[in-house]
Structure 1
Amino acid sequence: MSIKNIVVLGSVNQDHTVQAPRLPTKGETVMGHRHVLARGGKGANQAVAAGRLGAQVDFISCMGDDGFARDALIAFEADGINIEHITLCENHNTGIALILVDDNGGNCIAISPNANNKLTAEVVDNKQDTIAKADYLLLQLETPLDGVERAVDIARENHAKVVLNPAPARPLPDSLLAKLDLITPNETEAEVLTGIKVTDEASATVACQHFIEKGVKEVIITMGSQGAFLYRNGQGTLIPGFRVDATDTTAAGDTFNGALLVALSEGQSMEDAVVFAHRASAISVTRMGAQTSIPYRHELDAIVELELK
């Protein structure tokens, strides 16, 4: 089996997660009962997921010149990630995410991007050789859009497959959408990008057709407990996930995206890749934190008792 190269471009955050019985309303203080300090950021989470699950991963990102960044580099390398393309930005702090999680696994998140805002087109230009060698480029939207667009252009020029996880959701130019091989929003992100409220297969189909009309080749809308809706070649299929008791859904989507790219890079069909990604994501939601929740390949291979929803 020939394993292909994945390049992930995106954010790194230091995550502070507090678990409480419920999420507070505006102006309210809720007493929590658990605190986890962990590495996060959508880009880093997806790179870690891909690395732990066996892929060859180059990670392009910007971090501060702080102790957290130095510790993160050691951890990334241990997870099999090539760290040569991570830039440490002098006089900047690494990104921070404040995460509140309720006892049902729901969450709300506030982010201070800090060094993530330095991942601009100018920085990406200096990584052209790395992106040019990629088979897959995986991106998100926690870093400047001009850097994302430049990376996509480089990937397209060199015939790499371009996958965008459009999170956190923001309006995107048609020129960018037209260059995507695959887009992977959740229901909320799909609604922001298409104006269509996704609640079931019928509405997911309409949202996917909107993306296709913009030039995106394939679409996967993750739909929480319902599973993932795959739209390709003019047809949509809802692929169910696995039944687990969720503790914390932080990084579940990132785990899904990283795992999906691993399976595709190994030559699995898109349908099988979605099931593989569901399995990894299901394990992640049973654990607290972002990268602390992401499973290793041996854990996926060992767990066979997960049930489809």
Structure 2
Amino acid sequence: MNGVVSVVGSLNIDHVVSVSEHPSPGETVLGLRLRTLPGGKGANQAVAAARAGAAVRMIGRIGDDPDGTRYLHALSRRGIDTSAVRRAPDQHTGRAHVTVDRTGENSVIVIPGANSTLTAAEVTTAAESIRTASVVLLQLETPLPAVEEAAELAAETGARLVLNASPVAPLPDRLLRLADPVIVNEHEHQRLAVRPRSVCVTLGADGARWGKYRERPPHTSVVDTTGAGDAFAGTLAGLLASGSTEQDALAAAVRAGAQATTWHGAQGWELP
């Protein structure tokens, strides 16, 4: 039986430029192609959880602009419940400017826009969507009070909390201790101030480890690494919500992260 994943997080429009190589500081390079793609760590992970078979609810904010409207319609067509995504008046939908070189490595600048207006009170209005979830999935591209409120609501009913502690930020001890697991890369892992219940460490091309389990990815021809970590996190949450063992969920998440490097952008499709 499919479980329910409630994702509290960001929604961005990604403007992705392909280049032969990344510019050095002060250098100008010519772009090869520009794509407008769906993004935001929250929405990326929601799409990945839905691909993994979970029923997904998205909680967040978009701007009062056509980009936000297009994005919501596209997510709804992919089976994601967006009824708890609210518009932020006088704000643009979050944006990211992504540069991808010929090896698939990327650099990203995020402009939060409407994402920065998500408050704890806004999350509280979506409490039922969180309390009735099997897994609540969080990241750090929205303000911390909103993240903390979602974690507390999950704790009230015993929903499993999965926290992707990225981008790096100082975090309260309680938030880290509520999560099972905290998903971090190797650099982020070194910066954790306390020991969470469990830590799942992503290792890039070497896969990931979670407790006693270690999984390596299949070989792929890398096109773009954007969103590979989000594909991993969303798939892990989706499989856990559906009752998979931690080992099976980890294996599927590593495969999904590898697959995500074979397409352009975070989600593998362009905005209509």
TM-score normalised by the chain length of structure 2 = 0.95
Q: 1:99 is aligned with what amino acid?
A: V
Q: CA deviation at 1:138?
A: 0.1
Kindly provide the CA deviation profile for residues 8-62 of structure 1, in whole angstroms up to 9, marking residues without a partner as x: 0000111001111111111111112121111100000001111233210110010
Match of 2:109 in 1: 110
Task: Tell me the residue number matched to 1:39.
Answer: 38
Residue 87 in structure 1 maps to residue 67 in structure 2: no
Does structure 2 retain, via aligned residues, the 8 Å contact 1:17–1:101? yes
Q: Does 1:229 align with 2:228?
A: no
Measure, in 2, the Cα distance between the counterparts of 1:81 and 1:19: 29
User: Could you tell me whether the CA contact under 8 Å between 1:284 and 1:293 is conserved in 2?
Assistant: no
Larger radius of gyration: 1
Range with greater deviation from structure 2 (278-287 or 36-45): 278-287
Match of 2:234 in 1: 258
Which residue does the alignment assign to 1:197?
none
Partner of 2:255: 279
Equivalent residue runs for 1:1-309 within 5 Å: 2-193=1-192, 211=195, 216-231=196-211, 236-292=212-268
Structure possessing the higher relative contact order (Cα contacts under 8 Å, 6 or more residues apart):
2
Taking the aligned partners of 2:103 and 2:269, their CA distance within structure 1 comes to: 16
> Residues 170 and 192 of structure 1 are in contact (CA less than 8 Å); yes or no, is this contact kept in structure 2?
no
Q: Cα RMSD (Å) of the superposition?
A: 1.4
Secondary structure of 2:223 counterpart: coil
CA contact (8 A) 2:162 2:181 kept: yes
- Indicate the SS of the match to 1:111: strand
* 1:169–1:193 Cα contact (<8 Å) kept: no
1:128-182 CA-to-partner distances (Å, cap 9, x unmatched) read 1111111100000000000000110011011100000011111111121121121
Distance across 1 between alignment mates of 2:61 and 2:110:
15
Q: Give the Cα–Cα distance (whole angstroms) in 2 for the partners of residues 54 and 259 of structure 1.
A: 9
Deviation at 1:293, TM superposition (A): 5.7
Does the residue aligned with 1:244 lie in a helix, a strand or coil? coil
SS for the counterpart of 2:25 is coil
Moved over 3 A (4+): none
CA distance, structure 1, for counterparts of residue 68 and residue 100 of structure 2 = 25
In 2, Cα distance between equivalents of 1:74 and 1:162: 27
Residue-pair matches, total: 270
2:38–2:269 CA contact under 8 A, matched in 1: no
Confirm or deny: 8 A CA contact 2:139 2:165 kept in the other structure.
yes
User: Equivalent pairs: percent with the same residue?
Assistant: 40
